[in-house]
Structure 1
Amino acid sequence: MAKGHRSQIKRERNANKDTRPNAKVSYAKVSATKAKIVLDTVKGKNVREAEAILRYTPRNAARVIEKVLKSAIANAENNLEMDPSTLYIEEAFANQGPTMKRIRPRAQGRAYRIEKKTSHITIILNER
């Protein structure tokens, strides 16, 4: 059981805000496992190096992640006045989103289920 009143607990939790620049895309039409493969290649890298890697990665998830990375860089530059040349990817993760269920008609009146998976991709940057 938590100690203190609910408003006090919320106040304490909201006091320590994360000031690192980040960007998130929700409901990306890429499965989380496929996105994680690409995210692992750029995790911990310099921002410019990561952009170059993503540009030449032949995976669908790389296009989505590249957009999220550019958004995180813009957030750092415009909102927090950080120098883009000193930024690196500190955290990058993909959580599973809701799955869209679709039906594919098959022979003899049967129906197969097609699952179109989505994910929530987050990139958090920091300065070196």
Structure 2
Amino acid sequence: MSTATLKYTRLSPTKARLIAREVQGMNAELALASLEFTPNKAAKLIYKTIASAVANGGFEASSVHVISCRVDAGPVLRRFMPRARGRATPIRKPMAHIFVEVDEVKEKKSSKKSKGEVK
């Protein structure tokens, strides 16, 4: 099992979680292929993090699957926008932390019994 982390990225964690839920449990090669053509900022960053996790373990993308893809909230930059009559309204610029774990696919052992075999 290998992991990769992308911290303090300027991305809304709520929007990134939508993409992270899609790739969780998928084969890494399929996840990378689907993320490559998803027109979303989060998809590009999650793609890089999954590719990094695969490379960290020294695996091939076709032989591993994504165990977990988690997006946590990071710190929030607070800015203010001037408004009419001398007022100001707050603007929140959130950050996110992306964690990805990948592991090798374990082949299932066939449990077929021959007729002469007794348990």
Q: 1:59 to 1:100 in 2, by over 3 A?
A: same
Q: Structure 1: any 5+ residue segments left out of the alignment?
A: 1-19
Matches within 5 A, 1:56-75: 56-75=37-56
Cα distance in 1, alignment partners of residues 22 and 60 from structure 2 = 23
Q: 1:48 to 1:83 in 2, by over 3 A?
A: closer
Give the conservation status (yes or no) of the 8 Å contact 1:76–1:84.
no
Letter of the 2:75 counterpart: P
- Runs of 4+ aligned structure 1 residues displaced above 6 Å come to none
SS at match of 2:98: strand
- Count residues with an aligned counterpart: 105
- Which structure is larger by alpha-carbon Rg, 1 or 2? 2
1:58: how far off? 1.4
Percent identical among aligned pairs is 35
Letter of the 1:100 counterpart: L
TM-score with structure 1 setting the length: 0.79
2:90 aligned residue: 113
1:125 aligned residue: 102
1:85: how far off? 2.2
**Is 82-91 or 106-115 further displaced after alignment?**
82-91
Q: Which structure's residues are more often strand, by fraction? A: 2
1:6 aligned residue: none
Cα distance in 2, alignment partners of residues 62 and 102 from structure 1 = 26
Cα distance in 1, alignment partners of residues 20 and 60 from structure 2 = 23
Q: Structure 2: any 5+ residue segments left out of the alignment?
A: 106-119
Matches within 5 A, 1:10-29: 20-29=1-10
TM-score with structure 2 setting the length: 0.84
